[in-house]
A and B are shown apart, each in its own frame.
Chain A
Amino acid sequence: MLQTPSQTVGPYFAYGLTPEQYLYDFKSLVGNQLVDPLNTPDAITITGRVFDGQGQPIADAMIELWDPANKRFGRFGTGTDPQNRFVFQATKPGSVDGQAPHFWVIVFMRGQLIHSYTRLYFADEADLNAADPLLNTVPTERRATLLAQKAPGGYTFDIFMQGDNETVFFEV
């Protein structure tokens, strides 16, 4: 059987997919807290923005974060923060299959007829990153686009759809 084709999430996903974040009267499936930060001493905050080919932050993207080690999932839209950031609370994942700690990041937005997958690795795990099988298949000069940088309370991870720093996206 043939795969059902993908279509864009469009600009108006929020009341269906991220309703509580956008203050719609519908229960959210998941939010941006993969852990409860109040009860998780080692919780980290991950923030970032998504930039288009002109370097403008994208205000209608939906970001999904999957922690494959702890099996935790979250979702956040970039339309509620004044700077169009996405924000997640999580813990740093452990290793899966001997790989360096990482999250999967799935990007959906108007202007993408099919979603994009990238991985968030941690810049302060240099030794584990150097041994990561997938990271080692990425051209050396592009690997830095996959590294979240340490910031107060957590990490920052910006996503560039195009341009000199275009984020590496994967065929999963």
Chain B
Amino acid sequence: MSQLIYNPFDREMHPPYLSPEYKSTLLRAPSQPLVVVKQSLSELSGPVFGDTNVGPLDHDLTKNARRNGEPLGERIVVHGKVTDENGRPVPFTLIEIWQANAAGRYVHKVDQHDAPLDPNFLGAGRVLTDAEGNYKFYTIKPGAYPWGNHHNAWRPNHIHFSLFGPNITTRLVTQMYFPGDPLLQYDPIFLGVPPKGRDLLISTFDLDITEPAFALGYRFDFVLRGSKATPFETV
């Protein structure tokens, strides 16, 4: 019996460990070369999640933390597809979501940015892809916020995502940005990605998914590492 071998991380698409303009990398980037693994069943396994890991309102961040009303801000709906590099859908995989509120403030206790918290918004959610790899969730458009990397540094509006895929080699944590954001050209986290990969992190406005008189729609697709060979398939 042979097994699938997954393509390595495409280092022309992913940011390097050391990215000096993003100052926190200086003391945290490994300096020694990575040791290459010959893939085995150990790496080609990973946690499996399902419906039981997603709460009934976790796909709607405008509803899953309400106390006395609706959260403030611009309601949006985000949808897309998770595939591998070969274009095959990644069905029933978990997507974890977290973000700042409309004012650019995170619920996290360490975030001391002088912008208001929203009592009706946590900013965390989860969604499972369907049988075709599609996902959709509702939220509030996150605000930009300042950070300490350099003078007058601001993060562009973004939503954080964590994905698993079929095994631990396909693990992905990333951020989705919004089209036309003037802060992107100044953001060392976004610019840490090689030029070839940057556009893939910017969502597109989608009038077809926009819900009349309710929410603006954005599309964002994910492409996870794919397998090199498919020895199990006979077709």
A residues with CB within 8 A of B:
1-17, 19, 22, 24-27, 29-30, 52-54, 56, 58, 60, 64, 66, 68, 71, 73, 79, 96-97, 99, 102, 104, 106, 108-117, 133-134, 137-138, 142, 161-162, 166-172
Interface segment, one of B42-50, B68-76, B130-138, B210-218: B42-50
CB B205 to nearest CB in A, in angstroms, measures 19
Across the interface, name the chain B residue whose C-beta is closest to A11: B110
B193 touches A7 (CB 8 A): yes
Chain A residues whose CB sits within 8 angstroms of the CB of B197 once the complex forms: 2-5
Measured CA separation A27–B162 after assembly (Å): 16
A52 to B32, CA, bound (A): 14
Within 8 A of A (CB), among B130-187: 160, 162, 168-169, 171-175
Asked if B235 is at the interface (CB within 8 A of a chain A CB), the reply is no
Chain B residues engaging chain A, CB cutoff 8 angstroms: 8-10, 13-17, 19, 22, 24-32, 34-43, 45-47, 49, 53, 55, 65, 83-87, 94, 96-98, 100, 106-111, 122-126, 160, 162, 168-169, 171-175, 189-190, 192-194, 196-198, 200-201, 221-226
Q: Assuming A16-B160, A111-B25, A113-B16, is B41 touching A7 (CB within 8 A)? A: no
Say yes or no: B27 contacts A9, CB within 8 Å.
no
A12 touches B174 (CB 8 A): no
Which A residue sits closest to B88, measured CB to CB? A1
In the complex, what residue of chain A is closest to B48 when comparing beta carbons? A71
Q: Is the interface of A mostly helix, strand, loop or mixed?
A: loop
* Contact assessment for A16 and B123 in the assembled complex, using a CB-CB cutoff below 8 Å: yes
Contact B17–A97 (Cβ < 8 Å) = no
Decide if B37 touches A66 in the complex (CB within 8 Å).
no
Q: B168 to chain A: which residues have CB within 8 Å?
A: 66, 104, 106, 117, 172
- A66, B96: Cα distance in complex, Å: 18
Give the CA-CA distance A110 to B28 in the complex, in Å.
Answer: 9
Q: Decide: B172 and A12 in contact? CB cutoff 8 A.
A: no
Q: Smallest distance from the beta carbon of B109 to chain A beta carbons, Å?
A: 8
CA of A96 to CA of B25, assembled, Å: 34
Given contacts A4-B223, A104-B168, A111-B22, contact A162 B174 (CB under 8 A): no
Query: B103 → chain A, closest Cβ, in Å?
Result: 14
> Judging by beta carbons under 8 Å apart, are B122 and A26 in contact?
yes
Give the shortest distance, in Å, between A60 (CB) and chain B (any CB): 8
The answer to whether A71 and B45 have CB atoms under 8 Å apart is: yes
Bound-complex Cα distance A137 to B83 (A): 33
- CB A48 to nearest CB in B, in angstroms, measures 16
State in angstroms the CA–CA spacing of A102 and B14 once bound together.
27
How far, in whole Å, are A112 and B123 apart by their CA atoms in the complex?
22
